[in-house]
Structure 1
């Protein structure tokens, strides 16, 4: 079983939404309203013919970066309070309601706009993550230039990097180099002159 196989679908949806922007290489997937629509449509959160506007894209990006800030907090780092405030304001404009079926309950959009439908489905995924106890396993990489979202499937939930082979090794090598440099500086300062 691969690492990807253990990620609950709701957690995968949230992770993938956050990863529509890759900070390390400054690569934005959601460059236009149609790209946002296509992303949601591929995940069956919107109809392929739905219409989104530039303002909808701006709200979605605000939600995404707010979620990235939350996941940074899950990784043990202080979350950007401005990003969290923007997230709260953006979500205040997306009214949702609870609906019940014989199979359970979920959040749905209270209005019939395309953006509200898509974001309500995303919020329902967050709700599902909480119910499944997978919410705090969603984190972003501790490497400050990366911030890629990942699912921490480790037993003790202590994973800090999106990839140990990539970011983990980079951070550990930098720390080791800094420690060696400090030790050299201290030993050179403490060496008596002859």
Structure 2
């Protein structure tokens, strides 16, 4: 939607999963086999993937300082979901260590690994969701102060600023 580069590392997976739903139009790319393919999903795992997606969106909203809409999942729901993807500390031959999924390959395990790595390197809080209620697109905040509010200043940011301007003029 915003034409920016994808989030770094494993956060690109999380960002792309959250962005499978276009909130404004209601289009969900998980409805198609082509849209499910990057996540290794079949029809059987669709409900769980959607639940995970919305819990991830809630965490991204929290990173941006926005509460989830009433009745929507919360970051606590993401915490609950991630308990189903246990991680272990794996030490490589060179002595480096990383958290890896006990049952690799599933979408939940891939997301858990991505979040663990991003939390370790400090990039997890920079994955945010757009402030615009009609958007909620996930984006990676590359701004120096990490204070972006919208996925795109030219679209969602401009709309918000125009609404504020019009409200002051009225």
Question: What's the TM-score bracket when you normalise by the shorter of the two chains?
Answer: 0.7 to 0.9
Contact residue 33 and residue 57 of structure 1 kept, 8 A: no
CA distance in structure 2 between the partners assigned to 1:35 and 1:177 by the alignment: 39
CA apart distance, 1:34: 7.5
CA distance in structure 1 between the partners assigned to 2:4 and 2:78 by the alignment: 29
Which structure 1 residue ranges, 5 or more long, are not aligned? 42-50, 182-194
Relative to total residues, which structure has the larger helix share, 1 or 2? 1
TM-score normalised by structure 1 residue count: 0.74
Q: 1:136 to 1:126 in 2, by over 3 A?
A: same
Verify: 1:125 aligned to 2:125, yes or no.
no
CA apart distance, 1:89: 3.7
TM-score normalised by structure 2 residue count: 0.83
Contact residue 32 and residue 57 of structure 1 kept, 8 A: no
CA apart distance, 1:33: 7.0
Relative contact order higher in (CA < 8 Å, ≥ 6 apart): 2
Structure with max Cα Rg: 1
Q: How does 1:4-19 map to 2 (within 5 A)?
A: 4=5, 7-19=7-19
2:91 to 100, 104, 115: 100
Q: How does 1:73-112 map to 2 (within 5 A)?
A: 73-79=62-68, 83-84=73-74, 85-102=76-93, 103-108=96-101, 110-111=102-103
Map of 1:29 onto structure 2? 29
Secondary structure in structure 1 of the residue aligned to 2:24: helix
Which structure 2 residue ranges, 5 or more long, are not aligned? none
State the Cα deviation string for residues 49-99 of structure 1 (Å, max 9, x = none). xx7442x21111101100100100111111357512443443333444333
Equivalent residue pairs, number = 164
Contact residue 89 and residue 97 of structure 2 kept, 8 A: no
